[in-house]
Amino acid sequence: MILAIESSCDESALALFDPARGIVRELVSTQAAEHEKYGGVVPELASRMHLSALPWLLEEFKGDLPAVTRLAVTRGPGLLPCLSMGVTLARALALATGRPLVGVNHLRAHVHSVFLPLHAQEPSGFLVARAALLPHLGIVISGGNTLLVRLGEDLSIRVVARTVDDAAGEAFDKGAKLLGLPYPGGALIERHAAQGDVAKFVFPRGIPEKADLRLSFSGLKTALRYQLEKMDDAQVRAALPDLCAGYQHAIIEQLVAKVGAALDRGTYRSVGLSGGVANNRTLRTRLTNAAAQRGLPMFLAEPKHCGDNAAMIAFAAWSEPDRPSDVAPAPSLTVDQA
Ligand code: KG4
């Protein structure tokens, strides 16, 4: 059984994974309410909160420790003071229990997280079932990253497309801030958008050329700012659902277009969607349809595993057993690195 620790940003999390049963136990302590006061994650505050949360989360796993055969920890990417808290706890646990410890790339873990439900369905047949789904197009969309990657038959990961500026989650959050909504605003934009008309406000959709897979979201945010400058507060309040609907639509249309272009260009046997923005129901439906139109199965990370969590860290440690076990915190690790 693998016990994993995640502390790369503002969630402290522990999870226990049994290859024969799946996720046995998992806990996440989120700091979102604390950081909301500052409009974003404050690294020093986040690391102090990990320092107090991780030990009491570990208390809940104390009874499992004798059955743990391997330890895993997120080594990056993430905020250095936050990563250090998880790595320090993991190293102490490895020392105390004598169990081996592996460092896990947080982004690779998001890519693999979409297969957790498949593993849960039939743990013993998982490796054979997954082999039939590779190569796989992984779509990771979070507050800090927007990436399309190719997960090859040998589990190698290659970047197919990425954003040249803001991440899609950042576009949601910055748009929400301009609209006067609290941080993180993605889920609130989705909620307001559900009551709005996508055609009332039309926002730019990044780089239009189909042959160019690069994503771009910074122009969208600027376009929203210019639109809001033309309106007074009462008009913005009245048009909030339409503004959110148009803004969300522009983000989703761009993602659907680039994912479609990537699928038409490469050879894939399945598609996966993960990361915090993968919580968005319209995005889940639209990308599932884009995959279905091409006859490909879609694997969606479960909502509880879209944001940061330790279940995906334990699962990735098991999914990629041959990767190097370096645990030194690596704040700017990229998805194609070990
Ligand atoms: O994976 P995550 O925790 O990001 C990083 O730590 O990088 O995801 C957080 C991001 C935020 O940008 C948040 O606004 C966005 O995911 N998000 C959503 C939704 N729920 C969370 N964006 C759009 N629609 C949602 N329902």
> How many C-beta atoms surround the C-beta of residue 260 within 10 A?
16
Predicted pLDDT of residue 148: 98
Residues 43 and 148 in one domain: no
Residue 198 lies in a domain: yes
Span from the CA of 282 to the centroid of ligand 1 (angstroms): 14
Span from the CA of 143 to the centroid of ligand 1 (angstroms): 5
Residues 161 and 254 in one domain: yes
Residues 289 and 314 in one domain: no
Percent of the chain surpassing pLDDT 90: 92
The mean pLDDT of the chain is 96
Residue 121 lies in a domain: no
Domain that holds residue 324: 2-114+308-337
Residue 323 in this model has a pLDDT that exceeds 80: no
Residues 221 and 94 in one domain: no
Residue 204 lies in a domain: yes
Chain segment 258-299, per-residue pLDDT in tens: 999 999 999 999 999 999 999 999 999 999 999 999 999 999
Residues 75 and 223 in one domain: no
Q: Residues 244, 177: contact at Cβ < 8 Å?
A: no
Atom number of ligand 1 nearest to Cα 276: 8
Predicted pLDDT of residue 71: 97
Residue 204 in this model has a pLDDT that exceeds 80: yes
- Cα torsion through 52, 62, 68, 337, rounded to 10: -10
- Provide the residue count of the chain: 338
Residue 221 lies in a domain: yes
CA–CA distance, 165 with 98 (Å, rounded to integer): 44
Residue 127 lies in a domain: no
* Ligand 1 near 187 CB (within 6 A): yes
Residues 157 and 263 in one domain: yes
Residue 17 lies in a domain: yes
**Region 40-61: what's the mean pLDDT?**
96
Q: How many domains does the chain have?
A: 2
Predicted pLDDT of residue 105: 96
* DSSP, res 37: T
Residue 146 in this model has a pLDDT that exceeds 90: yes
Residue 324 in this model has a pLDDT that exceeds 80: no
Instruction: CATH number of the domain at 240, please.
Output: 3.30.420.40
What is the residue with the minimal CA distance to atom 2 of ligand 1? 276
Q: Which residues of 150-172 are buried (b: 16+ CB within 10 A; e: fewer)?
A: bbeeebebeebbbbebbbbbbbb
User: Best substitution site from 50, 273, 279 to test ligand 1's pocket, by max atoms within 8 Å of Cβ?
Assistant: 279
Chain segment 210-238, per-residue pLDDT in tens: 899 999 999 999 999 999 999 999 999 99
Residues 55 and 178 in one domain: no
The strand ranges marked E within the chain are: 2-6, 11-18, 22-30, 70-76, 101-105, 136-141, 146-151, 157-162, 270-274, 298-300
Residue 124 lies in a domain: no
Confidence of residue 60 (pLDDT cuts 50, 70, 90): very high
Residues 231 and 188 in one domain: yes
Q: Residues 120, 103: contact at Cβ < 8 Å?
A: no
Residues 136 and 252 in one domain: yes
CA–CA distance, 145 with 302 (Å, rounded to integer): 18
* Ligand 1 near 78 CB (within 6 A): no
**Region 92-120: what's the mean pLDDT?**
97
CA–CA distance, 289 with 44 (Å, rounded to integer): 42
Provide the whole-model pTM.
Answer: 0.96
Q: Residues 333, 105: contact at Cβ < 8 Å?
A: yes
Residue 39 in this model has a pLDDT that exceeds 90: no
Q: Residues 277, 172: contact at Cβ < 8 Å?
A: yes
Span from the CA of 178 to the centroid of ligand 1 (angstroms): 17
Percent of the chain surpassing pLDDT 70: 100
Residues 70 and 177 in one domain: no
* DSSP, res 305: G
Chain segment 73-94, per-residue pLDDT in tens: 999 999 999 999 999 999 999 9
Residue 125 lies in a domain: no
Residues 260 and 143 in one domain: yes
Residues 242 and 263 in one domain: yes
**Region 121-139: what's the mean pLDDT?**
97
